[in-house]
A and B are shown apart, each in its own frame.
Chain A
Amino acid sequence: ETGVTQTPRHLVMGMTNKKSLKCEQHLGHNAMYWYKQSAKKPLELMFVYNFKEQTENNSVPSRFSPECPNSSHLFLHLHTLQPEDSALYLCASSQEGRRTEAFFGQGTRLTVV
């Protein structure tokens, strides 16, 4: 148990559906991240929030919409996804500073049909 909880663990959705992924951290961290992990590809950093402010958006398509209502919660809203968006979506959090490691949730396995 890393202190970062993601729900749901598995999600199957159609291309016209709207769904949301949730992440919650109980570590008192002030930075939160979304990563995408696809088979045979490096982890892709999608979004970064510091103190609830979005500081990074790595050219992610608008069908992915993040939300960070407070420093403990992070959401990823999904809308009209494509089959190639099927992947493991990982949330992480860290304390501010370059010397700090990030702690990851167990991920949401997303399948788009």
Chain B
Amino acid sequence: AQSVAQPEDQVNVAEGNPLTVKCTYSVSGNPYLFWYVQYPNRGLQFLLKYITGDNLVKGSYGFEAEFNKSQTSFHLKKPSALVSDSALYFCAVRDGSGSQGNLIFGKGTKLSVKP
């Protein structure tokens, strides 16, 4: 069965420093991978996705993610963190059910960026 793992419950970063939020996946077939962000009391917002092609994917708000097939990872990165990036981040994968698969989410990683 398809699954994603986010090994860190929380990541703490100083403003201006680079950030990485980790995600590993387990899929059969081609992986379709997604990152979402959730601010307090809000729904999830789509950041970026990997479908095929270039392993480095660029998304919203300056975020990017690197697909690594050999390590089955899809880590989220940003070169310079902002305090406003503090939020809950979810990695997701499409599973193999039905004609389109369902989005299966990791448990989330809380990112805290301090001034």
Contact surface of A with B, Cβ cutoff 8 Å: 2, 4, 6, 31, 33, 41-43, 45, 48, 50, 55-56, 90, 92, 94, 96-107, 109
Contact = CB atoms under 8 A, between A and B. Distances in A.
Contacts of A92: 43-44, 103
A102 B100 contact: no
A31 B43 contact: no
A98 B32 contact: yes
Closest CB pairs A-B (n = 6): A104-B43, A43-B105, A104-B44, A42-B107, A106-B43, A101-B46
Contacts of A4: 43
B100 A2 contact: no
Contacts of B45: 2, 104
Contacts of B51: 99
Nearest to A44: B105
A96 B100 contact: yes
Contacts of A100: 100
A98 B46 contact: no
Given A92-B44, A94-B100, A107-B43, 16 more contacts: A33-B103, A42-B105, A43-B105, A45-B103, A50-B99, A56-B98, A92-B103, A99-B32, A99-B49, A101-B46, A102-B46, A104-B43, A104-B44, A106-B41, A106-B42, A109-B41
B43 A98 contact: no
Contacts of A48: 98, 102
A13 to B, nearest CB: 19
Contacts of B34: 101
Contacts of B108: 42-43
Interface string B60-102: 0000000000000000000000000000001000100111111
Contacts of B13: none
Contacts of A99: 32, 49, 51
A5 B90 CA distance: 21
Contacts of A90: 43-44
Contacts of A107: 41-43
B46 A103 contact: yes
B41 A98 contact: no
